[in-house]
Amino acid sequence: MHILDGKTVLVTGATGLIGSNLCYELLNKSTAKVIALSRSKDKLERVFGEYLADPNFSYIAKDICEPLEISEKIDCIFHAASPISGAVISNQPVNVILPNIEGIKNCLEFIKNQEQKSGIKGRITVFSSATVYSNNTLLDRTVNEDDTECQTKINAPNAPYAESKRMSEVIANAYCKQYGVDAVIARIGYVYGFCKELPNTAFYSFMKTALAGQDITINNPSMARRDNIYIDDVISGLFTVYEQGISGEAYNISSAGEKDNFAAADEMAGVIADIVNKEKLAGKTVSVKYLSDADSRQSGIILSNDKLKSLGWAPTYSLYDGIRNTIEKYIKEN
């Protein structure tokens, strides 16, 4: 049995990496009724084409920044709507901030109003981010859920994303305290894995470049290592947080650097090249080429996952296996 069997689940940002894989898992392995929400009807139908006739699947094409008007009872909301592309964060910051601020408010208002009108108490899982743990040291450091005292500079390039994620947590906690809304927070590491609509990030650019038989070019060889985590481990972590998480509390869903997952983008590029070459996937040998010499690496953050592990969860995928699975699924789909 699945913990969400028989429940009605709303997934916002449903066409993204985490949202789409969450929907697939529910549709394939549970009897949950899944409502996928995203702005684009065309993208929804591309991503969920094989499920359009499934009686347990429906979709809503609308902006999460608009109030939710859903007649069905909702047992669970997974609020995944938030752009992650560096280009969008830099050039369209308002489009990043509003889904995190207005979006979470609309989800919380729906849960609050549903309980007040019908007595149905839903639970919302708020998707937060490793970026809430800003780093101002010169050394790699490990953080737990209480280590939120460091903040991103207001004018930092990623401030629209990091600060709006922090504020989404503040808003969720406010609704918990003032209205009794049942909300748990998932602070998710840097996620990689297959997605039908590939995110516009370096990892996926590296993968496509290598599979095309071209060398991967690295502009910045001094990038910080990050706490990466494969999508399947994220999905199982989300279900654990939903089922066992305490309302109002945050839980890191992270690898904690286990299984070689503490790696910088250029190191992930190296793993991509190794897999492509070993499996002879490109018809030629590809390599990673640096455009400049490396200085010392910037410091990075490891997210402790002890709190989530105490609930019985643990990551299972190494960096190599996760990237190999991603490449294999990409090839199969294309």
Render pLDDT for 62-120 as a digit per residue (tens, 0 to 9). 999 999 999 999 999 999 998 877 788 888 999 999 999 999 999 999 999 999 999 99
Residue 111 lies inside a defined structural domain of this protein: yes
- Structural domain includes residue 306: yes
In terms of Cβ atoms closer than 10 Å to its own Cβ (0-12, 13-18, 19+), residue 229 is buried
* CA distances, 71 to each of 28, 148, 179, 288 (Å): 25, 38, 21, 52
Q: Is residue 210 one of the residues assigned to a domain?
A: no
- Of the candidates 176, 87, 84, which has an alpha carbon nearest to the alpha carbon of residue 125? 176
Which residues are CB-contacts of 54 (< 8 A; sequence separation ≥ 6)? 27
Q: Which pLDDT tens digit goes with each residue over 300-318? A: 999 999 999 999 999 999 9
Give domain status of residue 294, yes or no. Answer: no
Q: What is the pLDDT of residue 294?
A: 66
Q: Is residue 94 part of a domain?
A: yes
DSSP 74: -
Residue 59 lies in a domain: yes
Total tally of structural domains belonging to the chain: 1
pLDDT of residue 175: 98
pLDDT tens per residue, range 212-271:
999 999 988 788 899 999 999 999 999 999 999 999 999 999 999 999 999 999 999 999
In a domain, 107, yes or no: yes
pTM: 0.96
CATH number at residue 163: 3.40.50.720
Domain extent for 137: 8-197+227-262+301-318
The answer to whether the beta carbons of residues 241 and 251 sit under 8 Å apart is: yes
Question: Which residues does residue 28 pair with via DSSP β-bridges, in sequence order?
Answer: none
pLDDT surpasses 80 at 295: no
* 3-class secondary-structure state, position 277: helix
Tell me how far apart the terminal alpha carbons of the chain are, to the nearest angstrom: 33
Residue 324 lies in a domain: no
Q: Of 195, 301, 242, 252, which is closest to residue 10 (Cα–Cα)?
A: 242
